[in-house]
Structure 1
Amino acid sequence: MCLLAFELQNHPNYKLVLMANRDEEYKRPTAPAAFWSDDPTILAGRDLEQLGTWLGINKQGKIAALTNYRDFTLPIKGEKSRGHIVSSFLQSDIAPQTFMEELHANQAQYTGFNVLAGSSEELFYYSNLEQSIKQVTPGIHGLCNALLDTPWPKVEKSKTLLRAYMKQTETVDPEVLFSFMQRAETFPAEQLPDTGVGSELESLLSSIFIASEEYGTRCTTVVTIDKNNDVYFEERTFKNGIFASAQKYVFTIEKPANS
């Protein structure tokens, strides 16, 4: 996962509206979003190399998303796959803040990451670069390959698009959100961060939707949770920058058995 923008608890009809792009090497084997056969409560795509995921939700409304932290001037570290952070949270029964505290205690096992974990009721953010657990405030937020709401151009652009749309709509049209995440224009060099990849690659990676010979946006996901706890989840996959398939799921969050 390399870019997401979302609105949390800031709309009369929706608790959460999220749009996200996952960028990855085209050759990395990936399963499209589905309820997992080995854990049917989890809805997510799946990295078939490590069996983790970058974004998922479960039937009880737990949601999590992960991005890598991109700074090639930092030493490489971490033995565990970062995608297991998301799946571990979705499979756990512990509260999100407790999960983040345990993750913080074990953060050195992973290369640089950002993770959002919680639900549409309360969402938490943690990065093992910043090493500070934060509850996400209501409003519009964006996350790419730096810390939450770091003003990289494509983060700011996706937040601006989402903010303007949510202010003027009562019912979210997923097509609009997908169109936002398809924007392929790059940004001027003077606006871009220096993450140690060189100016040419920095420019390529600056667009919301990325397409190159070997690396790019593999899927776009839209998730909405309304005030009735109805979930809309749609993922569109791409092959070499060209639309390949779509997976759509609609369900109502289940109440815990002891509620």
Structure 2
Amino acid sequence: MCLIVLAWKVLPGVPVIAAANRDEFYDRPATPAAPWPEHPHVIAGRDLQGGGSWMGVTTRGPSGPRFAALTNIRGPAERRENAPTRGDLVAGFLTGEMSAPEYIAGIVARGDVYNGYNLVLGDREALYWYSNRGADDPRNGQALEPGRIYGISNGLLDAPWPKVLRTKAQFASLLCQGAPEDAYFEMLADTTRAPDVRLPETGMPIELERMLSPVCIESDGYGTRTSTVVKLYSEGEPELHERIVQPDGQVAA
């Protein structure tokens, strides 16, 4: 994913509500979110090139249904072509039995072998954020504070990028209104570009920063591929609703 906004224990009975966009090259093959044949309790999309996933849920787990999502950290000067796929981090948690703290400890022990990423993972009891680029943030690897809305794009947690600030504000408003699901997908379809003065400085040329600044990205070879809304309930199975976005911005499913 390249944008996630989530409410953690904000609404009674729904510990996790997340809305997210996955941005990727159009020619990178992937399957839509569905139960995995070898792990039918896992519901997630799958990257057919790397074999991992960017976001998913499970219908069961040691402490009930689980959730995991990933965003890449934009750092062209640090990128290594031979690094392992970051999607394995989502897949490993969803298919495994470790608690979130145990899983994070295992990632840390393996060292910094991945390119930069943010990982959000947990269940309806506790939710964690970990980033291999967030050593100076006291929240890194710790349980997130309940009753708050969080946002992540291709910087660290709650980095004040225009698309993060915009969607967090809209997301909070939709939650307060008890808005229908379609309203969240409408929020995720926003193609408004940010003003140049508010663009982050990530080492990319200004033309690319402009193109990547909207909530929903459109370009010839790269853009928003899927929009997803996830809910974990205090009781019962989670919900994951996904819409496939075509290169022309039209919703296919």
Normalising by structure 2, we get a TM-score of 0.92
Distance in 2 (CA, whole Å) between partners of 1:91 and 1:145 is 25
In structure 2, the partner of 1:84 is 88
**Aligned Cα RMSD in Å?**
1.5
Q: Residue 226 of structure 1: CA displacement?
A: 3.0
Cα distance in 2 between the residues matched to 1:77 and 1:24: 16
Alpha-carbon distance in 1 for matches of 2:213, 2:111: 28
Q: State whether structure 2 residue 31 is matched by structure 1 residue 22.
A: no
* Alpha-carbon offset, residue 77 of structure 1: 6.9
Structure 2 unaligned spans of 5+? none
User: Is 2:157 aligned against 1:148?
Assistant: yes
- 2:188 match: 181
Within the candidate set 166, 175, 196, 1:157 is matched to 166
Distance (Å, rounded) in 1 between the aligned partners of 2:236 and 2:180: 17
What is the Cα deviation at residue 104 of structure 1?
1.2
Query: Residue 54 of structure 1: CA displacement?
Result: 0.2
What whole-Å deviation, never above 9, does each CA across 1:190-215 have from its counterpart, x for those lacking one?
11111111111101101000010000
- CA deviations over 1:81-107 (Å, ceiling 9, x no partner): 100000001111111011001111124
Any unmatched runs of 5+ in structure 1?
Answer: 247-259
Q: Is the 8 A contact 2:54 2:69 kept in 1?
A: yes
The structure that is strand-richer by fraction is 1
Q: 1:120 to 1:107 in 2, by over 3 A?
A: farther
**1:244, CA displacement in angstroms?**
4.7
- How many residues of Structure 1 are paired with residues of Structure 2 in the alignment? 244
Partner of 2:126: 122
Question: How far apart are the structure 2 equivalents of 1:195 and 1:124?
Answer: 25
Percent pairwise identity: 34
Task: Give SS of 1:183's match.
Answer: coil
State whether structure 2 residue 199 is matched by structure 1 residue 192. yes
1:137 counterpart = 2:145: yes
CA contact (8 A) 1:78 1:109 kept: no
Aligned 8 A contact 1:219 1:237 in 2 = yes
Worse-matched range after superposition: 9-18 or 121-130: 9-18
Q: Distance in 2 between matches of 1:136 and 1:192?
A: 27
For residue 75 of structure 1, report the CA deviation from its aligned partner: 5.2
The equivalent of 1:55 in structure 2 is 55
User: Where has structure 1 moved over 6 Å in runs of 4 or more?
Assistant: none
